[in-house]
Copies of this chain bind each other. A is one copy, B any other.
Amino acid sequence: MAKSILITGGARSGKSSLAERMTLGLHPTATYIATAQAFDAEMAERIAHHQARRGPEWTTHAEPRDLVGALEATDGTRPRLVDCLTVWLSNLLLAGEDWQGAAERLVAALPRQAAPVVLVTNEVGAGIVPENRLAREFRDAAGFLNQAVAGVSDEVWLCVSGCPVRLKPPQGEGPTP
Contacts and interface: CB of A to CB of B under 8 A. Distances in A.
A159 B128 CA distance: 17
Nearest to A164: B175
Given A143-B12, A146-B162, A164-B174, A128 B124 contact: yes
A21 to B, nearest CB: 7
A167 B163 contact: yes
B8 A160 contact: yes
Contact of A165 (B14, B121, B138, B165): B165
A6 B6 CA distance: 26
Interface string A148-177: 011100011110111111111011111111
Contact of A128 (B127, B158, B176): B127
